Amino acid sequence: MENTVTILIKNTSYVVGFKNDSHYLLKNGQVAYKGNEIIYVGKNYEGPVDQIIDANNGLVIPGLINCHVHLANSPAEKGFIEDRGSRNFHMLTLYEYLRAIDMPYEDRLKVMDFSLAEILPTGATTIYELGLGSEEMVEKIGNSGLRAYIGLSSCPSKTYTPDGKRIENTKMDLDFGYQRLEENIARKEKYEGSYHDRIRFTLFPGQDESTPPEFLREVKRLADLHKMKLTIHVGQSIQEYEYIIQQYGVSPAQYLVDNGICGPDVFWTHYVLRSGHHLNPLIFPGELELMAETKTNLVHCPWVLTRRGFLMESMQMYLDKGINVVFGTDTFPQDMLNDMRSAATSCKIAESNPFVGTAATVFNMATVGAAKAFGRDDLGRLAPGAKADIVIVDTNNMEFCPYRDPIKILVFTATRHNIDKVIVDGNLLVEHGKALDDRQEEARKNMQEVADRMWLNMKNADWAHRTVDELSPMSFPVE
Ligand SMILES: [Zn+2]
């Protein structure tokens, strides 16, 4: 049955409203929404109201948009890949450490439960999930209450190391890739627009080095035919960069553009190790210009980079070129506030300049910038006509004192634990920082059991049969 209840949020400190194409700060503002749609943002709503939410001096912001998550994988990397890197592979963890993480499908479902329970109270209301995309996974996401874009991994080959010295691709299995694309389309036909239109489907061909030109062109054909967004990992390792040059003689950016994987409906994830980055000695000018000219969106996952010891050089340069840069948490923590802070500070470090990577810049990227990438003018903003994806941040705490500029505090001081209420599509899902269906406790218990099994099994998954403690020693001796 259509929800037509009108709810008024009042007693706020600030509402981040949106008009004339920009966020603005509305002191002691009010927000009213009817069903899943915002109907009023202003100082004094006078229409009929069925219910009132007392914000208790809270800060009201639009729901954040997390443009890159792997729900069934990422938390399993925690406590393992930090402080590690493969010297033979430019310190990446991708080909050796992540390959040692192996779980049966049933365990991946539990990791996904954990991710969904983790993400919702952090203030993200829309996610872009990339993974196996089975029907039960889609239904888990739908039932979580989140708004989600989903892509099934349809990569026809895997990149790995057989010996810790070199990288290889498994044999290109195009039939598998095409079959996965078909499954992706079938899933779209079954679920697109389901869960009150919170679920939508996209394509996810994996990464550039594992996808030959004919496969990419088929992805492009299907994306056009079915009007689907798509995302691909690219520009994330030097090995990948060199491989593309050896195979095709062009930069990864040119390779994707040549095969149609570009444009306003496309998200390139990473593209950090462009030529000109101090870790990339190769010279292929014009990569950022290609991204800008084709209006391709770029998903920046800053925390993954800084944790590994390098930066995007620099986020401000990408923005100055006119590229729509958005954020994804990619690994852990799946916490957009952490991403925003990390993006802001790493941009300042890359440029040695405090005037770049501002709170306003990263707030825009996590809201209206991401909404633009999805082609949605009803997300990432609080304005009449927009979806009621709303977050109320508690300000009665040490983080918000002294309280002057709410966006600066949100980006540079607040934590996920300051998030009080999360509303998605007009449904109140989080209150006092806790999901109302309280899945967290069971999800945590199951996640620990999954991880204990995975760590025990690691010696079977690792190419050199090392134990988890050999691959990633504990920080201090354990007695
Ligand atoms: Zn990823």
pLDDT at residue number 456: 95
pTM of the entire predicted model: 0.97
* Token code pair at residue 284: 């292929």
156 plus 274 within the same structural domain: yes
Please give the single-letter amino acid code of residue 380: G
Which token pair is 299? 């998903």
Q: Are residues 115 and 231 in the same domain?
A: yes
Q: Is 65:340 a contact under the CB 8 Å cutoff?
A: no
Residues 416 and 316 in one domain: no
For residue 478, being part of any structural domain is answered with no
Distance 233 CA to ligand 1 centre (A): 6
Percent of the chain at pLDDT above 90? Answer: 88
Per the domain annotation, does 352 fall within a domain? Answer: yes
Kindly state whether residues 75 and 220 are assigned to the same domain.
yes
Distance of CA 253 to the CA centre of its chain: 21
- Tell me how far the alpha carbon of residue 38 lies from the centroid of ligand 1, in angstroms: 32
410 in a domain, yes or no? Answer: yes
The CA–CA distances, whole Å, from 474 to 147, 442, 463 equal 38, 26, 21
Same domain? For 296 and 258 the reply is yes
- Number of structural domains in the chain: 2
Same domain, 132 and 91: yes
Is 108 part of any domain? yes
Residues with CB under 5 A from ligand 1 (ion): 330
Same domain, 158 and 220: yes
Secondary structure of 279-293 in the HEC alphabet? CCCCCCCCHHHHHHH
Output the CA 30–ligand 1 centroid distance in Å: 38
Does 376 fall in a domain? no
Specify the CATH number for the domain of residue 228. 3.20.20.140
Does 291 lie in the same domain as 333? yes
Residue 465 lies in a domain: no
CA of residue 447 to ligand 1 center, whole Å: 20
| 280 and 270 within one domain | yes
Specify whether 225 is located in the same domain as 353: yes
Do 56 and 159 share a structural domain? no
User: How far, in Å, from the CA of 409 to the mean position of ligand 1?
Assistant: 29
Query: Residue 387 belongs to a domain with what CATH number?
Result: 2.30.40.10
Question: Tell me: the pLDDT tens digits for 84-107?
Answer: 988 888 888 888 888 888 999 999
Residue 452 domain-assigned (yes or no): no
Give the distance (Å) from ligand 1 centre to CA of residue 472.
21
pLDDT in tens, 1-51: 678 999 999 999 999 999 999 999 999 999 999 999 999 999 999 999 999
Q: Report the alpha-carbon distance of residue 108 to residue 19 in Å, rounded.
A: 42
**DSSP per-residue letters across 397-453:** SSTT-S-S-HHHHHHHT--GGGEEEEEETTEEEEETTEETT--HHHHHHHHHHHHHH
Residues 51 and 169 in one domain: no
Reading the block at residue 166, the tokens are 């070199």
User: Which of 110, 109, 119 lies closest to 334, judged by CA?
Assistant: 119
Task: Output the pLDDT for position 1.
Answer: 62
Can you read off the two tokens belonging to residue 242? 């060199």
Looking at the domain assignment, is residue 287 inside a domain? yes
Domain holding 404, by residue range, is 6-62+382-425
- For residue 31, the model assigns a pLDDT of 98
